[in-house]
Amino acid sequence: EKNALIYSRLDYIFVESLGNNGHSIIFFREKDGWSGICGKFDFKSIDNFRDIIKEHYGDSLMAKEYLLLADLVEVRIERNKQV
């Protein structure tokens, strides 16, 4: 069960058309951190997202695309803490 804490646009990040299947991915803030949904995968944290991507896509270019997104999300989260 997810307990999203979405009060403003700073509390979620939505990305569309990623990977070969054009997945939509949403990262959202919860009381204990950030989690989200990517296609058929639910993830509990950004590190968990990275682990799932590495497990399913290995060292492929698709994995690199998703992992770059994880880096971008972390930067955005840090930047939003300053707002």
Q: Which residue carries 């682990």 as its tokens?
A: 51
Q: Is the pLDDT of residue 1 over 60?
A: no
SS3 category, 11: helix
- pLDDT grade for 19, boundaries at 50, 70 and 90: confident
DSSP 21-79: TTEEEEEEEETTEEEEEETTEEESSHHHHHHHHHHHHTTSHHHHHHHHHHHHHHHHHHH
The first and second tokens of residue 50, run together, are: 């990275």
Cβ burial, residue 77 (10 Å; 0-12/13-18/19+): middle
pTM here is 0.82
At 20-76, the pLDDT tens digits run 778 888 898 888 888 888 877 888 899 999 999 999 999 999 999 999 999 999 998
